[in-house]
């Protein structure tokens, strides 16, 4: 296995972290790539990782926290790299599959 393949495989590993949100301890399971992205976003925003997670938690409504965090990371990524024209294309039209 090449170094790139090993890094890609480790990015997919689900890692469980305990966090304190509003005074309550909870566990969140996310792929390592999402944890790294959340840490980067927290640093960019000048907040702690726990503070960032609490902010996402406060706005998630009925969504599962892990899912809300994944969507948050995706939305931030799309702010930085907006989709190309034709964002409503099917996967086949986009050359996937």
Compute the chain's Rg from CA coordinates.
Answer: 16
Q: pLDDT tens digits, residue range 15-60?
A: 898 988 889 899 999 999 999 999 999 999 999 999 999 999 999 9
pLDDT of residue 97: 45
pLDDT of 95 > 90? The answer is no
What is 77-95 written as a DSSP string?
A: HHHHSPPPS-TT--TTTTT
């Amino acid at each position: 296995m090449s170094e790139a393949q090993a890094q890609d495989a480790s990015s997919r590993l689900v890692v469980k972290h305990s966090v304190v949100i509003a005074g309550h301890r909870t566990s969140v399971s996310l792929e390592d790539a999402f944890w790294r992205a959340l840490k980067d976003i927290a640093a960019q925003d000048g907040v702690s990782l726990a503070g960032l997670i609490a902010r996402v938690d406060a706005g998630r409504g009925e969504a599962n926290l892990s899912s809300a965090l994944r969507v948050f990371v995706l939305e931030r990524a799309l702010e930085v790299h907006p989709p190309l024209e034709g964002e409503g294309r099917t996967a086949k039209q986009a050359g996937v599959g």
